[in-house]
Amino acid sequence: MNATGTVGPCHTALATTSRNNVTHQDASSSTLPGEDDGLCLSITQDSVSSVGSAAVVAEGGCGIVGPPAPQPAGPVACRLTGPLRADEVEDLASKTCRICFEDEHSDDPLVSPCVCRGSARYVHQRCVEAAFRARANWLDLTCPTCKHGYDGIVAVHLGKIAVAELAAEFGDNHAVVANGLHNLGIAYGVLGDSTEEKKLLESVLEMQEKELGPEHPNIAVTLVNLGNAYSRLGDVVRQRALLERALCISEREYGPDHMQVAVALVNLGSAHGILGCPLRQRDLLERALAILENQLGPNHRDIAPTLVNLSIAYGALRQVERQRDLLERALRINEQEYGPDHRAVATTLVNLGNAYGRLGDPARQRDILDRAVSIKQREYGVDHVEVAKALVLLGSAHGELGDLNHQIALLERALRIQERHYGPEHREVLSALGGLGLAYGRLGDTGRKRDLLERTLCIMEAAFGPDHCNVAVTMAELAHTYGELGDVARQEELLRKSMRLEELGAMDRFYRTGESEESGQLPEQQSTKSPLLAHLWWPSFARCCHRRCRRTR
């Protein structure tokens, strides 16, 4: 929260005890700022018929990309799979399971599935399962110590147990089983499996509408989470429709200033950001922030994700100082709540690093992103897509500092991760692919730049449609590249196409966002086929190509 990242869509899990599954748009996802990763609500066994409190956790990340943040896209690993610092290696060696007080076993390693730290950080998964079965509160997937939701494979494991136990007791089609499936779907989403999340939440929605009717408040919660799953799968138009329905239900049920309304507003704002309407995004998020601050206070942990998503809207509106200030505030809240090395902190750092880059301080950007990459590698593993997002932006910082070889190495690594995870033609590879083309061009390898930008253009036209501003930008840069190679015919062909799109207003809708804000006019909606791409390198790249296109003409 989609900066060049999107704090991904906010998750909404059903629970009285809040689930911390917010998605921030990460600065490197190919969606606009919004990470993330979303507000979460969960349903506990004691509140099956009512929705509990909203919980927001900075994760997944959003920046001008996600991913709201980003990105994006939720927390994944509960085990320390990346390289550890020396003090952490020593810490792990000295720690035991907080439940059984035994060391790590080869067949049952110690995991860190929640935000507990210190001597309570590590636990065996079998011990967590035993404690969960003993409590028999099947709809409560939170840690009884820190009161935060479990993450990753532990949450999925417990969610499966809960669904099996509830189905055995109540039958497969009971409403309480739908609540268990809902929480399991959220767990899959946090683990990064949005396809399974969507499948489960679709079945939950069908069960709830049949059992409760189409306007029940619990349905609003499901609609938010289902919408976020669609967003992570690339269908933001569908997400927006589901969120608008959720907002109507929540406002009618609770009034305009309820926490549930804030949850829908945060997610809906992020969707508008992804679809290229940062003014609408800003207004919805400002309204949500006012509700959250009034209900929770200005320094509550659930404020941080909204601050990150709101910062991305201001970044898209070119109010970068305001963006930086909001991110600094979010960082203070997250560090106080989770400590300096939590993935929620990493998400905020990615967006903050991008803000400093846009303010012309690439050295500060590099230092902040180095820290973010270190945290993400430790939390997710060195080859996770969350790491790739940060690598793209770190590469951009090194490029601005003149270290092009380091930039290319980082972008090549990020591209390999993205291609392995998404496939070679997915829009998510555009962040690394486009930046890599520019970097090779700066090194003088114009042929390699041409090949990468041709591939970028093909993916972009398929993802955004042939009339999108990003297509015009890429064509302009590719035309300049062909000119450097002496292919005047191809250069003129691409320039004609790019200028035609500019005359149709595609590029102005991107560049004149600030002017639209001053006049009170909302910019025309961007192509709804796929989210707008806007990584940190992309706005400067686009402006450069825009100027180059005008000079050429």
Contact 349, 69 (CB under 8 A): no
Axis crossing angle, helix 320-338 with helix 304-316, rounded to the nearest 10: 160
- Residue 535, pLDDT above cutoff 60: no
Per residue in 227-236, pLDDT (tens digit) is 999 998 889 9
- Say whether 56 sits in a helix, a strand or coil: strand
Question: How many Å apart are CA 28 and CA 108, to the nearest integer?
Answer: 34
Q: String of b and e for 38-66 (b: at least 16 CB within 10 Å)?
A: bbbbbbbbebbeebbbbbbbbbbbbbbbb
Which residues have CB under 8 Å from 334's CB, separation 6+?
A: 58, 301, 304, 342, 344, 345, 348
More confident residue, 277 or 41: 277
- Residue 530, pLDDT above cutoff 50: no
Contact 280, 247 (CB under 8 A): no
- Residue 76, pLDDT above cutoff 60: no
Question: How many Å apart are CA 277 and CA 540, to the nearest integer?
Answer: 19
Sign of the CA dihedral with 542 first, then 543, 549, and 553 last: positive
- Determine the average pLDDT of the residues in 182-194: 90
Question: How many Å apart are CA 152 and CA 167, to the nearest integer?
Answer: 23
Q: C-alpha angle with apex 72: 283 to 434, nearest 5 degrees?
A: 95
Residue 449: CB atoms within 10 A of its CB come to 24
Which domains are seen in the chain, by residue range?
6-359 (1.25.40.10), 369-553 (1.25.40.10)
pLDDT of the residue at 91: 52
Contact 261, 274 (CB under 8 A): no
- The two structure tokens encoding residue 263: 């949850």
Q: How far is CA 364 from CA 314, 374, 394, in A?
A: 20, 16, 11
- Residue 87, pLDDT above cutoff 70: no
- The two structure tokens encoding residue 402: 């003149």
For the ranges 174-178, 452-456, 464-468, 520-524, the one whose mean pLDDT is highest: 452-456
Q: Give the rounded percent of residues in the chain with a pLDDT score beyond 70.
A: 74
- Residue 398, pLDDT above cutoff 90: yes
- The two structure tokens encoding residue 530: 């796929």
Contact 98, 33 (CB under 8 A): no
For the ranges 172-176, 293-297, 544-548, the one whose mean pLDDT is highest: 293-297
pTM: 0.72
Do the strands 25-26 and 55-56 form a parallel or antiparallel pair, or are they unpaired?
Answer: unpaired
- Structural element, H or E, at residue 8: none
User: Which of 317-326, 388-397, 540-549 shows the lowest mean pLDDT across its residues?
Assistant: 540-549
Contact 246, 231 (CB under 8 A): no
Burial class (CB in 10 A: 0-12, 13-18, 19+), 325: middle
- Say whether 192 sits in a helix, a strand or coil: coil
Question: How many Å apart are CA 494 and CA 440, to the nearest integer?
Answer: 20
Per residue in 261-287, pLDDT (tens digit) is 999 999 999 999 888 889 999 999 999
Average per-residue pLDDT in the chain?
A: 78
- The two structure tokens encoding residue 446: 């114009």
- Say whether 124 sits in a helix, a strand or coil: strand
Q: Give the rounded percent of residues in the chain with a pLDDT score beyond 90.
A: 55
- Determine the average pLDDT of the residues in 392-415: 96
Measured between its terminal Cα atoms, the distance across the chain in Å is 37
Question: How many Å apart are CA 476 and CA 254, to the nearest integer?
Answer: 50
- The two structure tokens encoding residue 85: 């610092």
Question: How many Å apart are CA 144 and CA 162, to the nearest integer?
Answer: 16
pLDDT of the residue at 49: 24
Question: How many Å apart are CA 105 and CA 26, to the nearest integer?
Answer: 35
pLDDT of the residue at 45: 30
Which residues have CB under 8 Å from 176's CB, separation 6+?
A: 45, 48, 139, 166, 170
- Determine the average pLDDT of the residues in 80-108: 64
- Residue 242, pLDDT above cutoff 60: yes
Among residues 4, 76, 2, which one has the least CA distance to residue 36?
2
Question: How many Å apart are CA 228 and CA 197, to the nearest integer?
Answer: 10
- Residue 542, pLDDT above cutoff 70: no
Name the pLDDT band for 161 (thresholds 50, 70, 90).
very high
- Determine the average pLDDT of the residues in 43-47: 29
Question: How many Å apart are CA 454 and CA 448, to the nearest integer?
Answer: 10
Q: What is the DSSP letter of 540?
A: H
pLDDT of the residue at 364: 97
Per residue in 474-509, pLDDT (tens digit) is 999 999 999 999 999 999 999 998 888 877 765 555
| 82-88 own/partner pairs: CB under 8 Å, 24+ apart | 82/376, 82/377, 82/378, 82/379, 82/380, 82/381, 82/382, 82/387, 83/377, 83/378, 83/382, 84/378, 85/374, 85/378, 88/378
Question: How many Å apart are CA 433 and CA 470, to the nearest integer?
Answer: 14
pLDDT of the residue at 114: 87
- Say whether 188 sits in a helix, a strand or coil: helix
Name the pLDDT band for 512 (thresholds 50, 70, 90).
very low
Question: How many Å apart are CA 32 and CA 275, to the nearest integer?
Answer: 7
